[in-house]
């Protein structure tokens, strides 16, 4: 479990009565535990008969955005995905909003992490066969990288200085 990926759940009955009442909940724990913590939060509300809640804040989701209307299940599923795949996972979810599709992209289309797309093109070319030594200086890997991207063969996610994650478009 991770304490780094969490949601802040607010009691809406208290909120609507001007009372700030809620709790930070680890979003990577079992979904039943999350639901139980929310139920306990509402049961202990300073306002009688509290039934509704909203997610008013979150941490650890990287570039992925959680709204107050996000379901506990979605917040949990996304948290587990990001816990497993890090910022790259968050970026993939920003492109492929369906979590099953995001799983497929990560598991089947991920080509790896490189310093540049040109480095990826160089590795791809060098793995495809022997390049005669006298021809090697004439290969323009930057142009090959450009063609791979513009041609739609790959898409990239940059997560840091000289860190590019390459995915095949299949």
117-120 contacts at long range (C-beta below 8 A, 24 or more positions apart):
117/145, 117/146, 117/148, 117/149, 117/154, 117/156, 117/164, 117/166, 118/142, 118/144, 118/145, 120/145, 120/148, 120/154, 120/164, 120/166
Strand 53-59 vs strand 6-11: parallel, antiparallel, or unpaired?
antiparallel
Confidence (pLDDT) at 3: 53
Over residues 112-129, mean pLDDT: 92
Confidence (pLDDT) at 161: 82
CA neighbor of 145 nearest in space, from 112, 116, 118, 108: 118
Over residues 50-70, mean pLDDT: 95
Q: Is the pTM of this model over 0.75?
A: yes
Q: Band of the pLDDT at 137, cuts 50, 70, 90?
A: confident
Q: Which strand (E) or helix (H) includes residue 7?
A: strand 6-11
Over residues 47-67, mean pLDDT: 95
Confidence (pLDDT) at 135: 86
Q: Band of the pLDDT at 2, cuts 50, 70, 90?
A: very low
- CA 60 – CA 84 distance, rounded (Å): 12
102 Ramachandran zone, left/alpha/beta (phi>0; psi -120 to 50): alpha
Confidence (pLDDT) at 1: 38
170 has a pLDDT exceeding 50: yes
Q: Which strand (E) or helix (H) includes residue 165?
A: strand 163-168
Residue matched to tokens 């979810």: 93
Helix (H, G, I), strand (E, B) or coil at 10: strand
Sheet holding 22-26, edge to edge: 22-26, 6-11, 53-59
- CA 10 – CA 17 distance, rounded (Å): 12
């Amino acid at each position: 479990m991770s304490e780094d990926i969490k949601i802040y759940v607010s009691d809406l009955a208290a909120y609507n009565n001007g009372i700030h009442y809620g709790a930070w909940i680890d979003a990577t724990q079992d979904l039943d535990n999350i639901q139980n913590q929310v139920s306990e939060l509402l049961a202990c509300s300073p306002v009688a008969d509290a039934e509704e809640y909203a997610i008013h804040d979150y941490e650890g989701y990287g570039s992925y955005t959680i709204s107050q209307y996000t379901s506990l299940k979605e917040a949990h599923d996304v948290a587990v995905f990001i816990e497993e795949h890090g910022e790259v996972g968050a970026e993939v979810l920003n492109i492929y909003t369906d979590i099953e599709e995001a799983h497929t992209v990560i598991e089947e289309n991920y080509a790896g992490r490189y310093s540049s797309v040109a480095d990826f093109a160089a590795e791809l070319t060098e793995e495809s066969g022997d390049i005669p030594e006298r021809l090697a200086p004439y290969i323009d890997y930057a142009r090959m990288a450009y063609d791979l991207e513009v041609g739609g063969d790959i898409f990239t996610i940059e997560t840091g200085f000289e860190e590019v994650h390459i995915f095949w478009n299949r």
